[in-house]
Amino acid sequence: MEQQFWHDRWETNDLGFHQDEFHPLLVKHWGNLNVASGGGVFVPLCGKSRDMAWLAEQGHDVLGVELSEIAVRSFFDEQRLSAARSEAGPFTSYKSDHIQIFCGDFFLLTTELMTGLTGDISAVFDRASLIAMPADMRIKYVNKLKDLLLPGVQILLINLHYEEGRINPPPYRVHDDEVNALYEPWCDVELLEESETVVKGHVCAEFAYRLQVK
Ligand SMILES: C[S@@+](CC[C@H](N)C(=O)[O-])C[C@H]1O[C@@H](n2cnc3c(N)ncnc32)[C@H](O)[C@@H]1O
């Protein structure tokens, strides 16, 4: 998926993926991860997701990364948070008390850039991030996450299933087999729940996985 595709989506306010409510599977299952209050939570491809505010309310320091400056500025405006702006390598960092967003390309993140920013990253929340990318990028994305995360880090991954051809991606269809192939070599994988959601007017199965880096 080209970066321009996402810039265009933000410029034209074509944001069908954005949810005004906190994600129900996040609210329901976050407790199952037993992430210590104060533990840093990484939200890759974060958009302007309100879930970051929910995570901060649970006592976490949140680090997001997002390509679009429109998304980042909208997030802080909508949450009525003021954010200090600074340069951090190839990123522009926006930081409020408990939420920091790196504006730039996820694939340029390094452990050096992440170290000491939100304390240690204890957990990751991935909603509409893995499934925002086509198959070749998903491999790159998961390899990057693997490079960035330490053993013991937990990932709450939200995945979708829908009938082939029903929805014009993104979101992409990612089978359970692919989730297992991508994560099992370096994570313990546990399916927490299957529920339903509506995407682009179609009812889809939605899955919550708990992954833990080995
Ligand atoms: C489907 S949206 C999901 C946003 C968010 N996770 C949510 O639940 O609302 C995908 C987001 O990833 C961002 N994005 C796409 N490619 C990216 C990249 N290489 N680095 C950082 N952000 C990226 C897009 O701008 C978009 O906001």
Instruction: Give residue-wise pLDDT tens across range 12-50.
Output: 999 989 999 999 999 999 998 989 888 899 999 999 999
Q: Please state the rounded mean pLDDT for residues 178-187.
A: 98
Over its C-alpha atoms, the chain yields an Rg (Å, rounded) of 16
Mean pLDDT, the chain, rounded, equals 94
Q: What is the pLDDT of residue 116?
A: 64
Q: Please state the rounded mean pLDDT for residues 188-204.
A: 93
Could you give phi then psi for residue 197, rounded to 5 degrees?
-150, 170
Domains and CATH numbers, the chain: 3-213 (3.40.50.150)
Q: What is the pLDDT of residue 163?
A: 85
**Partners of 40 in the β-ladder:** 61, 121
Residues with CB under 6 A from ligand 1: 6, 17-18, 45-47, 49, 65-68, 71, 105-107, 127-129, 132, 170
Question: Of 50, 34, 32, which Cα lies nearest the Cα of 127?
Answer: 50
Cβ–Cβ < 8 Å for 196, 206: yes
Cβ–Cβ < 8 Å for 76, 47: no
Residues 92-117 have pLDDT tens digits of: 999 999 999 999 999 999 988 887 66
Q: Is the pLDDT of residue 118 over 80?
A: no
Q: What is the pLDDT of residue 128?
A: 96
Which residue has the least CA distance to atom 6 on ligand 1? 46
CA 68 to ligand 1: nearest atom: 25
Ligand 1 midpoint to CA 67 (Å): 7
CA distance 11 to 15: 10
Q: What is the pLDDT of residue 105?
A: 98
Tally the residues of the chain: 214
